[in-house]
Amino acid sequence: MIIVSSCLAGCECRYDGKSNEVPEIKQMVLENKAIALCPEELGGLSTPRIPCEIVLKENERKIIGQDQKDYTQEFSKGAETFSNVAKALNVKVVILKANSPSCGYGNIYDGSFTGTLTKGNGFTAELLSKQGIQIKNEYNFKE
């Protein structure tokens, strides 16, 4: 079993209430080859929600919304819950949304809300990678 970001499976759970549907990933869920989870919703955030990005504050990674509020607790809770499901299901591979403050792996938005990418991992991707789970995204999931 693998887990995919819900937005990639067609669920309208992005911050703006839309999806990032990838038909092949949605089909995996429909065929019970994958389950879809959204760490941000698991963390208690609503859909739609304020856009958020990771910033470094006092040498600590924080998730700050475009409204300048700190959403680190919700993103951390979502990452933990996602991780617990992955452990319970003995998941070895996940397909996560690229560049997201939760799911981005390798590159994330830089906190300026200008669409600029920087090296780094979202909270969920970081936690899963530390557990040895292979992380793919919508661009490389076929590899």
- The answer to whether 56 and 126 are in contact (CB under 8 A) is no
Instruction: Please give the pLDDT value at position 135.
Output: 98
* Chain segment 86-125, per-residue pLDDT in tens: 999 999 999 999 999 999 999 999 999 999 999 999 999 9
Instruction: Please give the pLDDT value at position 22.
Output: 98
Of 92, 79, 102, the closest CA to residue 3 belongs to 92
* Chain segment 11-30, per-residue pLDDT in tens: 999 999 999 999 999 999 99
Domain borders along the chain are 2-137
Listed in sequence order, the residues at least 6 apart from 16 whose beta carbon sits closer than 8 Å to its beta carbon are 48, 51
Instruction: Please give the pLDDT value at position 101.
Output: 98
* Chain segment 35-77, per-residue pLDDT in tens: 999 999 999 999 999 999 999 988 999 999 999 999 999 999 9
Count Cα atoms within 13 angstroms, Cβ side, for 82. Answer: 37
Q: What is the CA radius of gyration of the chain?
A: 14
C-alpha dist (Å) from residue 25 to 1, 9, 97, 107: 13, 6, 11, 21
C-alpha dist (Å) from residue 38 to 59, 77, 113, 114: 27, 12, 21, 24
Query: What is the average pLDDT across 77-84?
Result: 98
Instruction: Please give the pLDDT value at position 133.
Output: 98
